[in-house]
Chains A and B, each alone.
Chain A
Amino acid sequence: TQLLEQSPQFLSIQEGENLTVYCNSSSVFSSLQWYRQEPGEGPVLLVTVVTGGEVKKLKRLTFQFGDARKDSSLHITAAQPGDTGLYLCAGEPGNAGGTSYGKLTFGQGTILTVHP
Chain B
Amino acid sequence: EAGVAQSPRYKIIEKRQSVAFWCNPISGHATLYWYQQILGQGPKLLIQFQNNGVVDDSQLPKDRFSAERLKGVDSTLKIQPAKLEDSAVYLCASSSREGTDTQYFGPGTRLTVL
Partner of B103, one of A50, A102, A109: A102
**Interface residues of A toward B: which range?**
20 to 34
Partner of B31, one of A6, A44, A48, A102: A102
Minimum Cβ distance to chain A for residue B13 (Å):
20
In the complex, the chain A residue whose C-beta lies closest to that of B108 is: A42
Minimum Cβ distance to chain A for residue B9 (Å):
8
Minimum Cβ distance to chain A for residue B52 (Å):
16
Q: Encode contact with A along B73-114: 1 for CB under 8 Å, 0 otherwise.
A: 000000000000000000101010011111111111000000
Chain A CB within 10 A, most for which of B33, B43, B93: B43
Partner of A108, one of B42, B100, B106, B108: B42
Q: Are A40 and B56 interface neighbours, CB within 8 A?
A: no
Q: Are B103 and A104 interface neighbours, CB within 8 A?
A: yes
Minimum Cβ distance to chain B for residue A56 (Å):
14
Bound-complex Cα distance A4 to B44 (A): 12
Partner of B95, one of A41, A102, A109: A102
Bound-complex Cα distance A29 to B102 (A): 16
Q: B45 an interface residue at 8 Å Cβ cutoff?
A: yes
A and B contact pairs by CB, cutoff 8 A, 26 listed: A6-B42, A40-B107, A41-B107, A41-B108, A42-B91, A42-B93, A42-B107, A43-B91, A43-B105, A44-B105, A48-B100, A50-B100, A88-B42, A90-B42, A92-B100, A99-B99, A101-B56, A102-B31, A102-B48, A102-B95, A102-B100, A104-B103, A108-B40, A108-B42, A109-B41, A109-B42
Question: Which residues of A approach B to under 8 Å, CB–CB?
Answer: 4, 6, 30-31, 40-45, 48, 50, 88, 90, 92, 99, 101-104, 106-109
Question: Which residues of B approach A to under 8 Å, CB–CB?
Answer: 4, 31, 33, 40-45, 48, 50, 55-56, 91, 93, 95, 98-108
